[in-house]
Amino acid sequence: MRRVPWPWVVSFVVAFAVLGVVLRPRATLESVGRRAIDCTISGDPDCLFALTTDEERAAYGLTPRKLEGLWATMIKPHLRVVKRGEYSRMGSPRVSGNLGLRQEVLLDSGRRTSLSSYVQMTDSGPKCPNLVTSLWLASVDLRRNGVGFLRGAERIQWLRDMAIKDKAAMEHLGLPGFYESSERGLVLWDTWIQECDSRIERLQASARANHK
């Protein structure tokens, strides 16, 4: 049998690997947004971790295991999807460089709700900033249990009350607060709850002034 020269084999393997990189579809804001919703439903910790930014990882000491615990505690008991609808966009990526996606879902309880993702272009490609906060907010909405759509002071009050309820569990998971931005860093739960109180007071005062 004729032997193939070793350098040819090496060249073929290298060329095949390069071709695979070239042909692999590039991640886009929309493809990552869809993946974020998929991962929220499946709870795949490695998938969720891959979506996070370096800044958020550093702020929490974030690991796939922490995300796995967050999903198992806050999302899994309330998210049993039996049917998924179409995606809808929120915002224009051409204008802002980021994209929000929403997907309507039907739960096994018969309730219809929606899951959303927010994606931003970074130096490392499309990522989901503040993923931990997004997952917690998703769990809050999944636990509304008949509470209708809230806005303004009522919405902030609802989030404040849920933060008080979830604070101990989140701290036990190694998630002691909200990572808001690189400028502000990690805001501890107690601080965030106090800020909610201040915002509620301002909104209520404004509402009273408008009714005079």
DSSP for 95-147 reads HHSEEEEEEEEEETTS-EEEEEEEEEEETTEEE-TTHHHHHHHHHHHHT-TT-
Paired tokens of 198: 């201040």
Assign 41 a pLDDT band (cuts: 50, 70, 90).
very high
Contact 98, 121 (CB under 8 A): yes
Contact 156, 64 (CB under 8 A): no
Query: Does the pLDDT at position 11 exceed 80?
Result: no
Mean pLDDT check: name the lowest of 57-66, 84-93, 160-169, 172-181.
84-93
Contact 116, 140 (CB under 8 A): no
Query: Does the pLDDT at position 67 exceed 80?
Result: yes
pTM for the whole structure = 0.81
Assign 188 a pLDDT band (cuts: 50, 70, 90).
very high
Query: Does the pLDDT at position 8 exceed 70?
Result: no
Query: Does the pLDDT at position 80 exceed 70?
Result: yes
In the chain the domains, ranked by start, together with CATH numbers, are 27-210 (3.10.450.50)
DSSP state of 57: H
The residue ranking higher by pLDDT, 78 or 6, is: 78
CA distance 4 to 2: 7
| Residue 147, pLDDT score | 60
Closest CA to 105 of 132, 128, 133, 75: 75
Contact 43, 139 (CB under 8 A): no
Contact 55, 184 (CB under 8 A): no
What amino acid is encoded at 135 in this protein? L
Mean of pLDDT values over 18-27: 50
Token pair 């130096």 in the structure block, residue: 123
CA distance 63 to 79: 22
Assign 64 a pLDDT band (cuts: 50, 70, 90).
very high
Query: Does the pLDDT at position 156 exceed 70?
Result: yes
| Residue 178, pLDDT score | 87
Cβ neighbourhood burial of 187 (10 Å; 0-12, 13-18, 19+): middle
CA distance 122 to 168: 32
Query: Does the pLDDT at position 91 exceed 90?
Result: no
